[in-house]
Amino acid sequence: MCCLLLVCLYVGSMVVYRYTFFRDHPNTIKRRFTSVLCVSAVSPQVLLAWTHYIRVSPSPPLWALLGIRLEGFVPATLLPLTLTIVLFLGPLTQLAIESPRGLFHDVKTALSEYEYISSVRDLRWFRNQVVAPLTEKLVFRACMIPMLVKCIGPTAAIFISPLFFSVAFQFTYTSIFAFIFIRTGHLVGPVLCHSFCNCTHRGL
C-alpha cells in the first residue's frame, strides 16, 4: 500500500496541473520539476513512517536505507555504469557508424566546455539527464525497495518493484535498475545508468 501511495504521489504530481503547453515547453518542465521534487522530499518520510509502523529492528539510518552512503561508493558508481555501457555497445556502435563527422569529433564536441554549458542550460537536457533519473530512482528504487525486500525478499523485489514503475512508465530496464540498487546498496549506480540510457536513447 505504501508503494502504491508513492506511485500515485509521483504520477499524480505530474498531472495535477492543467497544462496549456506541450510537454517540452519550459513552463511545463518547470512545473513538473517543482512537483516531482516535492514528491521526492515527501517519499523518504513515507519510508521512515513505514519503518516505525512495522517496528524495523534494529532501525537503520534513513540515509542508509535510501542508498546514500560513502562506503563502497566508487565500485557502486563505476561497475554498474560500465556494464550499462557494455549493454549499449550496439546503439553506440550504430551512432559511431552513422556519424558524418566521425566518432572522435562527436566525442570531442560532446566533452567540450561550450557543449557542457549549453546542455546544462537546456531544461530538456536537465530533465532527462538529472531530474528524471534522480527523482525516479529515489522514489521507485530507494524508497520502495527497502519496503519490498523486507516483505518479500530481494529476488522477488527485483521483479515486483518494476511493476509499480510500469503502472506509470515502463518495465524492462527498471528490473535492471532494481537489481543494481539491491546488489550495490547505493542510489548513485541506478541514477547514472538511467541518465546514460536516456542520453543514448535520445542519440547523445
Tens of pLDDT, residues 112-155: 777 777 777 888 888 888 998 999 999 999 999 999 999 999 99
What total number of domains does the chain contain?
1
Given this model, what pLDDT does residue 204 score?
39
What pLDDT, on the 0 to 100 scale, is given for residue 45?
A: 94
For 130, which DSSP code?
Answer: I
Cell 519550459 maps to which residue? Answer: 26
| Residue ranges for the chain with pLDDT beneath 50 | 203-204
Output the pLDDT for position 41.
Answer: 95
Residue corresponding to grid cell 529515489: 138
Quote the CA–CA distance of 47 and 57 in Å, as a whole number: 14
Domain span at residue 163 reads 2-201
